[in-house]
Amino acid sequence: MTVPHPNPELEQQIGERVFKVADGFFRIPLPTGYRIGDVNVWLLDGDEPVLFDTGTGSQESLQALDDALAVVGRRVKDIRHLLMTHAHIDHCGGAGRIAEASGCAVHVHAREVDRVRDFVKASRAELFPLIPMMMQMGFDRSVSQHALLMLDKLGASATPCPSAGELPKSLQTGRGTITWAYVPGHSAADVLFRIEGLPLVITGDHVLPHVTTSPAVDVADGPEYAVSLQRYRDSLGYTSTLGNLIGCAGHGPVFSELGRRASALLATQDRRMERAARVIAKLGPCTALQVAGGLFGMEYRFEMLMFANECAGYARLLQQRGVCEIRREQGLPDTIIPLQSPAEADKAGQDGQD
């Protein structure tokens, strides 16, 4: 069954896996093999073709990319600049093979250069500082073994890209200047790309409903891991000012009114925070992981780290409102203590909806 395009006026399909968004600018969805489905890469054609994001780097993904580029008279070897919105495997895993085939310049946010140069090595280096943070949220020590297995599975398709370097402040092309903004949230180093003369923003996974309400854990935060939610909310606040620009996301078709979508994600977080307050009141003393289980259920194994981090962020904001208290003892999970009864939490949630 064919699913109708939600915004057919914003892009036109011109070939298998190729959608024209504007003159010389194309969306190319590539297979990932993951539950989330296809991931978008974006081509800005011209004298020096620019590719935004890479796909996973699997043979299937790279072949699909080369076939799609052929529809507009290009091949992977023609790419001259490769820019990445963030360094999750479905957005950066193909960097090494694309750079090898084309000799293109490869750029990513400074914080993710090492990961693009060697995804598995950099990710493993972050894993061990991450374990104490996860235990503060309520995970047990065995989570490290599960994380290693998941990392090895995710990194299987990535090829090292030793030529990767930092994003320049801007990139001059024959199609206009490309600029970027730092919007940490979905990952610790998300960026948005703007192309001079085009009313659109390449957003990566920054504003995906039901995927990116949760902030990534940033190992640089250490014991203060819960601040990542506020940082993500600040980023969404910035994006909400971008008004009616077209959003070019990492997954799914293009969409209109980027600013409104960012505002809607903030509203979703607000609703979740009120629900988190009710869960905390009903549970009594609890961990961020237990709050996440109350909100999302414990079956979401792959996403539970981000869900728990999101709930830790809600607890931090609720503590500032006097709704709960977070107690910390060395060697033990952080304990969230409710300061209101379940009835008071329910009433506060109802008042917030009025």
DSSP, collapsed to helix, strand or coil, labels residue 307 as helix
The helix/strand/coil state of 9 is coil
Name the CATH architecture for the domain at 12-264: 4-Layer Sandwich (3.60)
Task: Report d(CA 337, CA 315) in Å as an integer.
Answer: 9
The pLDDT value recorded for residue 130 is 87
273-353, what's its fold? Arc Repressor Mutant, subunit A (1.10.10)
Torsion, Cα of 125, 296, 321, 188 (10° steps) = 30
Domain boundaries, the chain: 12-264, 273-353
pTM above 0.85, yes or no: yes
pLDDT score of 155 more than 80: no
Tokens of 125: 């280096």
**Residue 276 confidence class, pLDDT cut points 50, 70, 90:** very high
pLDDT, average across residues 341-348: 85
Question: Cα separation of 248 and 203, whole Å?
Answer: 6
The string of DSSP codes covering 199-237 is SEEEEETTT-TTTSSSPPP-GGGGGGTTHHHHHHHHHHH
For residue 187, the SS3 value is coil
User: Taking the C-alpha atoms of 107, 112, 116 and 117 in order, what is their torsion angle to the nearest 10 degrees?
Assistant: 100
Q: Express each pLDDT in 129-150 by its tens digit.
A: 888 899 999 998 877 777 777 7
Q: Does position 4 have pLDDT exceeding 70, yes or no?
A: no
Beta bridge partners of 262: none
Helix (H), strand (E) at residue 195:
strand 191-195
Do 12-264 and 273-353 fold alike per CATH?
no
DSSP string computed for 80-115: -EEE-S--SHHHHTTHHHHHHHH--EEEE-GGGHHH
